[in-house]
Structure 1
Amino acid sequence: MSCGIVVALPEELSTLTKRKFAPGECHAIGGGVLLSYSGAGPANAEKAAAGLIDRGANRLISWGCAAALAQDRRPGDLVVPERVLTQDRHSLATDPSWRQRLANLLADYQAVGSGTLLESGRIVGQREEKRQLFEQTGAVALDMESAAVGRTAANAQLPFLVVRAIADPAEMSLPEAVVHALDADGQVQLARLLAFLLAHPWQLGGLIRLGIHFRAAQTSLKTAARFINEITRI
């Protein structure tokens, strides 16, 4: 009996363990928890979730950062959604008792928001597109992996939970430098980033703001991770 956690990025992985993983690797981190570093995107997340089930996980968590679609969600806000809305607008429910357990554990440390999380197959970086998606769906935030984890859990008739911290707010467009520097796994390639900044130095301010927001998201995830052994038991 164990809980499997899917994380897409190394910065998200670091909120749960100091151990270094290669993309695609899965390791036990104690307390009956299996942690899989999937890489970005739905296909990678689905493969990681299936691998966790093959290794004996009987419940799944999608863990990491998200982009805000609702204006009232700020960097560092924790979102534990009631449902995940897929790209084809199918709704996947998270486990209600598990959500409540997490909220109770964090009550004295971190506010826990709810609502709907939207799936995207790509990075949504422009504030206008975020606004349109919010108007179309009412979803409070968006990520690329949680729906894939939810579909895999549903197919195996297992409970799942989503724990996401807001990185970029709804009114912020991602700096073009970041989008330019991302590779297929959603990781920033430093050489690409530096080359772009040399040609577009005015992008530096946006990168600094995004870095501050991302650290706020990491801090919230680390707060939740202090209770990971309690969170993963249902």
Structure 2
Amino acid sequence: MVPGERVLQAVNREIWLLVAADQRELAGILDRATAWKRLRWPLDFAAEGAVGDCGFICAANGPGFRLAGEAADAALKRQPSVSRLVSVGLCGALHPDLRVGDVFAAIAVVDEDGNSFCAEPPRAARPFHQGVLVSIDHVAQTAAERQELRRKYSADAVEMEAAAVAARARSAGLPFHCVRVVSDAAEETFRIDLNAARSSDGRFCPRKVVLSALRKPWVGFPELLRFSRVSRRAASRLGDFLAECQF
């Protein structure tokens, strides 16, 4: 018996696979779970649990296509009864009407190679935006790059993992969804070079992030504190939304 197996045995309906870049993005849904247990899988973080009569598996393995794909592959291999894949976490706004804290659900995901994936939006009483999401394998650092992404892909939001998760869903013949919370507005430019702060495996290196902030500490550290605060609020809002929505 794998750790947490009894949690899912009590679920009579669906099992969602929620794939995020970071464990902290999953904190909200875990807080709202009626029960959950951590899984000893070869990922940065994995857990399974239930919200009401719906089961879920959480998998987080770092940012970018490769790491997100590994998270989805590991979960699908170990839990073949998954009903649908959901890419969750934070996103950056490309549409000027999207504001920090807004919930965004993709109706389509495109990547930099021109591949396109359909995404089914949720049904929810809580308000949310929907539109096209572009999935790229690096951080969109500047307002100018965001403007170019919007022009090139007619996209409303940007992130780094959804295309890889969507590709796994397509290969497995499973429904795909993407629900994100906006962490930065279209007009924002990061002062910290987050792309330079990634390690060779694609993960963000905390030491490199801090060193980047130290180059201009009067703007770098306030930016880090703001992002930490926004991320906590976003995880809570995402948890509220996922606990109440239907797919």
Q: Output the TM-score relative to the length of structure 2.
A: 0.78
Instruction: Quote the offset at 1:113 in angstroms.
Output: 0.4
Corresponding letter in the other structure for 1:126? T
User: In structure 1, what is the equivalent of residue 178 of structure 2?
Assistant: 162
Aligned with residue 236 of structure 2, among 213, 222, 230: 222
2:93 is equivalent to residue 59 of structure 1? no
Aligned with residue 174 of structure 1, among 190, 197, 210: 190
Q: Structure 1 stretch 58-67 or stretch 30-39: which is displaced more?
A: 30-39
2:218 is equivalent to residue 202 of structure 1? yes
Partner SS state of residue 134, structure 2: strand
Partner SS state of residue 136, structure 1: helix
Instruction: Quote the offset at 1:159 in angstroms.
Output: 0.5
Partner SS state of residue 90, structure 2: strand
C-alpha deviations, 1:38-88, integer Å up to 9, x for none?
211111111211222221312011010011112221111111011101222
CA distance in 2, matches of 1:198, 1:13: 29
CA distance in 1, matches of 2:135, 2:30: 26
CA distance in 2, matches of 1:143, 1:6: 13
C-alpha deviations, 1:171-228, integer Å up to 9, x for none?
1111135444444444351x33443444422333xx5256435634542442341354
Aligned with residue 95 of structure 2, among 70, 84, 92: 70
User: In structure 2, what is the equivalent of residue 187 of structure 1?
Assistant: 204
Aligned with residue 26 of structure 1, among 46, 68, 78: 46
User: In structure 1, what is the equivalent of residue 18 of structure 2?
Assistant: 5
Q: CA separation of 1:76/1:14 partners in 2, compared to 1, >3 Å: closer, same or farther?
A: same
Q: Structure 1 stretch 152-161 or stretch 46-55: which is displaced more?
A: 46-55
Q: CA separation of 1:200/1:149 partners in 2, compared to 1, >3 Å: closer, same or farther?
A: same
Corresponding letter in the other structure for 1:187? F
Corresponding letter in the other structure for 1:117? L
Corresponding letter in the other structure for 1:26? A
Q: When you count helix as a share of all residues, which structure comes out higher?
A: 1
2:168 is equivalent to residue 152 of structure 1? yes
User: In structure 1, what is the equivalent of residue 29 of structure 2?
Assistant: 16
2:112 is equivalent to residue 91 of structure 1? no
Q: CA separation of 1:150/1:172 partners in 2, compared to 1, >3 Å: closer, same or farther?
A: same
Q: CA RMSD in A?
A: 2.5
Aligned identity (percent) is: 24
Give yes or no for contact 2:105–2:122 (8 Å, CA) kept in 1. Answer: no
Give yes or no for contact 1:120–1:143 (8 Å, CA) kept in 2. Answer: yes
Partner SS state of residue 6, structure 1: strand
Q: Structure 1 stretch 160-169 or stretch 6-15: which is displaced more?
A: 6-15
Q: Output the TM-score relative to the length of structure 1.
A: 0.82
C-alpha deviations, 1:112-143, integer Å up to 9, x for none?
00110001011110111111111111101111
CA distance in 1, matches of 2:94, 2:195: 18
Give yes or no for contact 1:9–1:187 (8 Å, CA) kept in 2. Answer: no
CA distance in 1, matches of 2:50, 2:165: 21
Corresponding letter in the other structure for 2:82? A
CA distance in 2, matches of 1:77, 1:217: 12
CA distance in 2, matches of 1:228, 1:122: 26
Give yes or no for contact 1:24–1:38 (8 Å, CA) kept in 2. Answer: yes
Instruction: Quote the offset at 1:158 in angstroms.
Output: 0.4
Give yes or no for contact 2:138–2:195 (8 Å, CA) kept in 1. Answer: no
Give yes or no for contact 1:76–1:213 (8 Å, CA) kept in 2. Answer: no
Q: CA separation of 1:78/1:194 partners in 2, compared to 1, >3 Å: closer, same or farther?
A: same
Give yes or no for contact 2:90–2:234 (8 Å, CA) kept in 1. Answer: no
Give the aligned length: 221
Which residues of structure 2 form unaligned runs of 5+?
Answer: 1-13, 32-36
Q: CA separation of 1:227/1:170 partners in 2, compared to 1, >3 Å: closer, same or farther?
A: closer
Which residues of structure 1 form unaligned runs of 5+?
Answer: none
